[in-house]
Chains A and B, each alone.
Chain A
Amino acid sequence: METDIAPDTELTLAQKEADLAAWLVARAPVAVGFSGGVDSTYLAVTARLRLGSDGVLAIIGRSPSYPAAQWAAARQVARSFDVPVLELDTAELDDPRYAANPSNRCYFCKTELWSKLVPVAHARGFPTVADGTNADDLGDWRPGAQAAREHGVASPLAELGFSKQDIRDASRRLDLPTWQQPSSPCLSSRLPYGIEVTPARLKQVERAEEALRALGIAGDLRVRYHEELARVELGPAELTRWLEPGRFATLRTALVDAGFERVALDLRGFRSGSLNVLHGVGQ
C-alpha cells in the first residue's frame, strides 16, 4: 500500500527527526522503556542508529498484563535492529491499589515499572530514561504519565511534537515492522474499572484475542471483559465480515473456548479508550 506524504508534512517530520537526533545525542546514553509497540520501537531503534549499541538500552518490563505475543515481537524487532535489551519482571498485580482497578490504575502500574527500571538504568550507566509517549497521548486520560514524571522519565516524542502518524511515517522509512501495527495497550485495559485485575482474567482476555487473531482477524481488535460476556471491538471491514450469518458462529465458538459464556460484537467497532467512555472517565 503506497501513501503519499504531503510536502509540508515531510518537511515537518524531517525537522522533528533532526530534533530527536539532537535530543538523543545531548542526553546519551539513553535507556528506553520498551514494549515493542509502535512508539517505543521507533524511539529505541532511532537511539540505536544515532548513538550506537553502547548508547542505548531497551528495557522491557514483563508482567501478566503484557501479552506474550507482544513480548516475543519486541524481542524479535530488537534482535533485527541490534538494539540491546534488558528484561525486568514487574509485579503490579501484587499492589492492591492496582488490582482493584481504579480509573487511575495506570499510575500504579507505571509507578511499579519506573521504580524498578529507572534505578537499574542508572546503575548501568544510563542517566537518561525515556518512554514512547507521543504528542497525541497528551490529550488522552493517561494517569501513567504522572508516574513517569515523578521518576524523571523523559518523553522526547511528545516533547518534540511527534504525532502517532509522524511515528508511523518515520517508522515506515526505517522499515520497522511496527509502522502499521495496531496500538497495543496492556491487557488490563480490557477490564472495566472496578473489576479486579487478576492473572486469570488477563489470561482469559489474552487467549480470546489470540484465538481471534488465529481466525485471521487483522488490524485493531479488543476483547472487552464484562464478566461472563466478551464484547468484541473490530475495525469496520472486519465487523461487517463477522456479522455474516454464516460466519459469526465461528467467532463465538473461539471465544467460548477461551472461557466466555456469552459473546457480543460492538456495533460501533474498535475505539481506543472504549472503557473510559463507558465509565465516563476523562470526559
Chain B
Amino acid sequence: MRNASALAAAIAELGVHCSVEARGALALLLPVSSSFEALQSPDTRRTVVALARQHGFTHVAIELPSDRRSAGRDADAPLLRD
C-alpha cells in the first residue's frame, strides 16, 4: 500500500529530488539542498502532500539536513529507502 520508491519518483517529476524514508504513515523526504527552493511554493507543497496521500502516507515531512549531509547529497544520486 505505502510505496516510498514510487512516491520519490512522483515527487522527482515536480523537480523535488529526494529519497523517501517510510516511518509508518509518515513519509520523510531526504532531499538535496536544491529541493528546498521548489518547496517554498505552497502549490508545490500541496501537490507533494497529495502525492504522498496517493501513495499511502498520511503525513509528509522534509528533513533539514546538516550542512555536511546536504553537501554530500547534492553530489549523490537519489537513494530510495524503505
How many angstroms between the C-alpha atoms of A60 and B40 in the bound complex? 41
How many angstroms between the C-alpha atoms of A102 and B60 in the bound complex? 23
Task: Assess the A267–B36 pair: CB atoms within 8 A.
Answer: no
Residues on A with C-beta less than 8 A from B60 are: 266-268
How many angstroms between the C-alpha atoms of A245 and B38 in the bound complex? 11
The interface size bin for chain B is 20 to 34
State the Cβ distance, A167 to closest chain B Cβ, in Å.
29
- What residue in chain A is nearest B52 (Cβ atoms)? A267
Which residues of chain B from 14 to 41 have any CB-CB distance to chain A below 8 Å in the complex? 23-26, 28-29, 33, 36-37, 39-40
Task: Assess the B63–A267 pair: CB atoms within 8 A.
Answer: no
B45 in the interface (beta carbon within 8 A): yes
A249 in the interface (beta carbon within 8 A): yes
Residues on B with C-beta less than 8 A from A274 are: 59
Residues on A with C-beta less than 8 A from B39 are: 243, 267
A27 in the interface (beta carbon within 8 A): no
Residues on B with C-beta less than 8 A from A267 are: 29, 39, 45, 48-49, 52, 60-62
Residues of A within 8 A of B (CB): 226, 229, 231-232, 236, 239-240, 243-245, 248-249, 251-252, 262-268, 274, 277-279
- Provide a sorted-by-A list of 26 A–B residue pairs whose CB atoms are within 8 angstroms: A229-B23, A229-B63, A231-B26, A232-B61, A243-B40, A243-B62, A244-B36, A245-B37, A248-B64, A249-B64, A252-B64, A252-B66, A264-B28, A264-B62, A264-B64, A266-B60, A267-B45, A267-B48, A267-B49, A267-B60, A267-B61, A267-B62, A274-B59, A277-B58, A277-B59, A278-B58
